[in-house]
Amino acid sequence: MNAVELRDVTLALGGRIVLANISLDIPAGQFIGVLGPNGSGKTTLMRAILGLLPPKSGAIRVLGEPASRGNSKIGYRPQTASALPGLNISGWDFVASVADGYRLGLPILSAAARAQVRQALERVGAEELAPRPLAKLSGGERQRLLLAQALIGDPKLLLLDEPLISLDPRRQHEVVELVKSLQRDLGITVLFSAHELNPLLNAIDQVLYLGCGQAALGPVDDVITPPVLSKLYGSPIDVIRVGGRIFVMSGAHDVERDAHQHEHNHPHVHEDSAHV
């Protein structure tokens, strides 16, 4: 069974076509890197898979069923809200806030829900973070708690929207390795969006590259090529491989690196983002 199926799907925001007539199959149990320039539709696609954005046309199936809101089989890690580092709630309360029947200020959880929270914290190696306030945690530690939150309910599909933003290379590597181990050990499907391919190279099974309203899904060597990326960027693109790394170049500019720097310096600018 495929984890996600798109058939002639068109997605639009505010009257603007973001993705046009896309058809693709994402196999179950794979780690998919989702890449593309700002505004290419990475967040929009995830919202559509979650059932939060109905397609303008076409059909989306998720884990064998039509995409719909509130699918408990999907775990979602949204782009980090700017207020998150300032929250004074504990790591436990933050993870438990998505457990069934829990409300901040009314910490009444069933035994089963408490067991789910403990299990999620253990799976990401964050047991020691449970009593600490989010405001006192590093970016990498907060990412562990966000992943734990996404694991509540034992999802079969994880959607991770830009979890590497603002992390240094070492923390990025730790997050990718953690997600890879979860994907492998739990047998789940992961869609992991990012601005840069290189942090994901050793973890992903396939890459889904978005751009100019189109999409290309396949192995890195098939998708990360000048003809494919030139079409998706709408301008001539060169692909340079050096020392096991891949650079996507437009003239003298590393377009993925430039996008990452732009997002780091202006974290609130995201053409295809929307709050859930």
Tell me the CATH number at 69.
3.40.50.300
The answer to the question of residue 237 being in a domain is yes
Calpha distance 31→43 (Å, rounded): 17
The answer to the question of residue 174 being in a domain is yes
At residue 260, the pLDDT reads 52
Same domain assignment for residues 187 and 269: yes
Same domain assignment for residues 127 and 211: no
Among 49-58, 130-139, 174-183, the minimum mean pLDDT is found in: 130-139
Calpha distance 211→42 (Å, rounded): 9
In the structure, what pLDDT confidence band is assigned to residue 270 with cuts at 50, 70 and 90?
A: very low
Amino acid, single-letter form, for residue 115: A
Q: Is 242 exposed, middle or buried (0-12, 13-18, 19+ CB in 10 A)?
A: exposed
At residue 271, the pLDDT reads 38
Read off the pTM.
0.89
212: number of CA atoms within 13 Å, CB side?
9
Q: What Å distances lie between residue 1 and 20, 158, 213, 216, CA to CA?
A: 24, 16, 26, 20
Same domain assignment for residues 54 and 128: no
In the structure, what pLDDT confidence band is assigned to residue 79 with cuts at 50, 70 and 90?
A: confident
More confident residue, 106 or 8: 8
At residue 102, the pLDDT reads 47
At residue 66, the pLDDT reads 97
pLDDT at 267 over 60: no
In the structure, what pLDDT confidence band is assigned to residue 84 with cuts at 50, 70 and 90?
A: low
User: Which tokens is 208 given?
Assistant: 């889904």
User: Which tokens is 69 given?
Assistant: 């809101």
- 254 phi, psi to nearest 5 deg: -85, 105
Amino acid, single-letter form, for residue 214: Q
At residue 80, the pLDDT reads 64
At residue 259, the pLDDT reads 57
Instruction: Mark which of 125, 154, 183 sits at the end of a domain.
Output: 154
More confident residue, 270 or 39: 39
Burial 99-117 (b: 16+ CB within 10 A, else e): beebeeeeeebeeebeebb
Calpha distance 165→184 (Å, rounded): 23
At residue 73, the pLDDT reads 95
Most confident stretch, 76-85, 87-96, 223-232? 223-232
- 22 phi, psi to nearest 5 deg: -90, 130
Same domain assignment for residues 112 and 165: no
User: Which tokens is 176 given?
Assistant: 């990718």
Same domain assignment for residues 48 and 169: yes
In the structure, what pLDDT confidence band is assigned to residue 163 with cuts at 50, 70 and 90?
A: very high
* pLDDT > 70 in the chain, percent: 88
Same domain assignment for residues 52 and 177: yes
Q: Is 162 exposed, middle or buried (0-12, 13-18, 19+ CB in 10 A)?
A: buried
